[in-house]
Structure 1
Amino acid sequence: MQENRAQRTVAMVLFNDVLLLDVTGPMDAFAIANRFLPEDRRYRLVTVAQSQGAIRSSCGLKVLADLRLEDLPANIELLLVPGGPGAYDVALPELERWLPGAVRGAKRFGAICTGVFLLARAGLLGGYRCTTHWNYVERLARAFPQAKVETEQIYVVDRDLITSGGITAGIDLALAIVAEDHGKALALEVAKVLLVARHRQGGQTPYGPLLAAVPRDGSAIARVQAYIVDHIDQAFTVQKMADLVAMSGRNFARTFQREVGITPLQYLQNARIDQARKLLEGSDRPLKVVAAQCGFGSDRHMRKVFCERIGMTPAQYRAQFGGG
């Protein structure tokens, strides 16, 4: 029995400035799963930290770890690293030196939200597919090009690594693990207790803008970007965009993609979607009006684009994110 319990140990790493919801969300999901499981199949939940003194979370609440890093037992089921400012804003050299050995002693390992930055600094993401909070995916990809960063999924499983998007996505991660360990029916029961969806619609894409802030630095490409956003209801072609800055269509398209990272038409579509989302969130305008004001031409075309890029219809987006 003791060996079985050790095999099902879930260890959560703690450090100063940890985001507490990254810790408590998954841990509560596993704890609720335990209510439905016989004793010899339950998860054993422990927290580990550099010391067993008080750890101050990013919201100010203090917690105490069960174990010091060196006392974590071998052959655990799962090692999880949560996120927070303490994971991505500061180096934690002792923890980063400890992680590779701890991961080797775990059947699986993972990160919630920005905890993936700690795994990356410990050299544990090479060749793995992973994700993080939508606001940090570009930063992660730039800083650690050896990682295969995916931007849209709520969580990503790649062999023995599982990573999740931001904050409450840690619950989605835990539910996925419960489903793998004990079946989808139990994961659904846990989701019902937590009042969350077993499978969230649309991934991370609906939560963040598709485009970064529009540059206003006066360069040719920036002027086109600003003009598109300021006149989003207009019809555009690549040549029309090029004419705005007296460039040939071919040269403009090549320059635009080099400087922005996407094609002019991809930028245009993303700008239309972002503007439509603002109107769906902040107004009760009919979908036909929103489509016209954002340059989609018809609500049918807007619906098609939303389904392809956002993973839900405009009506579903309004129901989920609108002001009511």
Structure 2
Amino acid sequence: MKIIFIVPPQVQLLDITGPAHIFYEAKVLRPEIELYYASIDDTAEIESAAGLFLSKLTPFKSFSLSKEDYVFIPGIDSSLFSDAVFLESSQGFFQWLRVQYAAGATICSVCTGTFLLAEAGLLKNKSCTTHWNYFSRFAAKFPETELKRNRLFVEDKGIFTSAGVSSGIDLSLFILERLYGQRFAFEIARITVVYFRRGSDDPQLSVFLQYKNHLEDRVYAAQQYIFEHLSEKLQLEAIADHVNMSPRNLTRLFKKTTGITVGEYLNIVKAERANHLLSNGHKLDYVAAQCGFDSDKQLRRLLKTHKLN
């Protein structure tokens, strides 16, 4: 399995070093993972946006990928978005990227790397996300792409796009969980001391991410189950059964780990989901159903109690 990290000029350092370190730690446990760092031209050295130089890079055209492989494209300085010389010089790379995608490789972008995917024509008639500060600019330049405006990462037909900076780490852990299971991803998160383990449906600017500020895998599994079944009438017994615990033990561990009860957390998550859906123009009855309520009245009562800033 090849993981190719593209290193464009003026690269944003954390966009590449975050995911690279996650996969480096994974490689220690899974030696079939191979890591490579590639330039988008014949340059073996580039200067990052922060002024740090990265060297001994391999030209992108040295690689021929398959469905087992991944390409990560980090964000770049925004001045390059409209730099005609840079975009013209990158046409060979864009063509290579299209060929690798057609061969089955999974393509991933971090932050404004989404702009490079769009320039390559890979996001036409697809959905994506990018850093919230560049929503308007992206939407104006690429109207044939559906922009998801409040998502950490989005997957569409083998292409992942993520919101920016640390969301590249979230995406990397998500991919490892899909490949090797939740326990493996948890171990990598623990090794790298990544407390915020966020999923694709978490908003980019969430006020409740602090409740995932832990490395207790049973509580994390319970939280994920809640997120994935929010439209159902969730019972404590079902959540506890999912994580192979008794309701009593789960209640104790959840409160000890997060500082709030399972019920309080469920209401907070429902309130956040409801506000997100309402802000995107959905009607009250639809939002109530998506949050597991039988009536608008129940939803109104919840939102009155849990007002988000």
Same fold (TM over 0.5): yes
Counterparts of 1:89-128 in structure 2, within 5 Å, are 89-90=82-83, 91-106=86-101, 107-128=105-126
**Shift, 1:65, TM fit:** 4.5
Output the CA distance in 2 between the equivalents of 1:180 and 1:206: 24
Secondary structure class of the residue paired with 2:132: coil
| 8 Å Cα contact 1:51-1:65 kept in structure 2 | no
| 8 Å Cα contact 2:40-2:93 kept in structure 1 | no
Classify 1:181/1:32 alpha carbon distance in 2 versus 1 (closer, same or farther; 3 Å).
same
For residue 187 of structure 2, the aligned residue among 174, 186, 189 is 189
Q: Does 1:304 align with 2:306?
A: yes
| 8 Å Cα contact 1:155-1:169 kept in structure 2 | yes
Counterparts of 1:125-204 in structure 2, within 5 Å, are 125-196=123-194, 197-199=196-198, 202-204=202-204
Output the CA distance in 2 between the equivalents of 1:65 and 1:120: 27
Classify 1:132/1:15 alpha carbon distance in 2 versus 1 (closer, same or farther; 3 Å).
same
**Amino acid in structure 2 at the alignment position of 1:104:** V
| 8 Å Cα contact 2:44-2:57 kept in structure 1 | no
Output the CA distance in 2 between the equivalents of 1:162 and 1:34: 21
**Shift, 1:128, TM fit:** 1.3
| 8 Å Cα contact 1:13-1:81 kept in structure 2 | yes
**Amino acid in structure 1 at the alignment position of 2:115:** F
| 8 Å Cα contact 2:154-2:162 kept in structure 1 | yes
Secondary structure class of the residue paired with 2:106: strand
Q: Could you list the runs of 4 or more consecutive aligned residues of structure 1 that deviate by over 4 angstroms after TM superposition?
A: 299-303
Q: Does 1:21 align with 2:23?
A: no
Output the CA distance in 2 between the equivalents of 1:65 and 1:94: 20
**Amino acid in structure 1 at the alignment position of 2:33:** R
Counterparts of 1:68-107 in structure 2, within 5 Å, are 68-75=59-66, 77-85=69-77, 88-90=81-83, 91-106=86-101, 107=105
**Shift, 1:105, TM fit:** 2.0
Classify 1:160/1:65 alpha carbon distance in 2 versus 1 (closer, same or farther; 3 Å).
farther
Counterparts of 1:174-253 in structure 2, within 5 Å, are 174-196=172-194, 197-199=196-198, 202-206=202-206
**Shift, 1:42, TM fit:** 2.3
Classify 1:67/1:152 alpha carbon distance in 2 versus 1 (closer, same or farther; 3 Å).
same
Secondary structure class of the residue paired with 2:133: coil
Classify 1:96/1:302 alpha carbon distance in 2 versus 1 (closer, same or farther; 3 Å).
farther
Output the CA distance in 1 between the equivalents of 2:202 and 2:122: 28
Query: How many pairs are equivalent?
Result: 211
Amino-acid identity (%) = 27
Q: Deviations over 1:22-54 (max 9, x none)?
A: 1100111111111222x3x32333333312332
Q: Deviations over 1:86-120 (max 9, x none)?
A: 65353432324422333432421121000111111
Classify 1:104/1:302 alpha carbon distance in 2 versus 1 (closer, same or farther; 3 Å).
farther
Bigger Rg, which one: 1
Secondary structure class of the residue paired with 2:137: helix
| 8 Å Cα contact 1:49-1:65 kept in structure 2 | no
Secondary structure class of the residue paired with 1:170: helix
Q: Deviations over 1:69-97 (max 9, x none)?
A: 22123326011211021653534323244
1:67 equivalent in structure 2:
58
Secondary structure class of the residue paired with 2:96: helix
Secondary structure class of the residue paired with 2:164: coil
Q: Deviations over 1:140-192 (max 9, x none)?
A: 11210111110111111112100100111111111111111111211111111
Classify 1:93/1:305 alpha carbon distance in 2 versus 1 (closer, same or farther; 3 Å).
farther
Q: Which moved more, 1:160-169 or 1:71-80?
A: 71-80
Q: Which moved more, 1:70-79 or 1:142-151?
A: 70-79
Gaps of 5+ in 2: 208-277, 281-300
Gaps of 5+ in 1: 1-7, 208-264, 268-298, 307-313, 315-324
Output the CA distance in 2 between the equivalents of 1:53 and 1:104: 22
| 8 Å Cα contact 1:48-1:65 kept in structure 2 | no
Output the CA distance in 1 between the equivalents of 2:97 and 2:205: 33
**Amino acid in structure 1 at the alignment position of 2:187:** E
| 8 Å Cα contact 1:100-1:124 kept in structure 2 | no
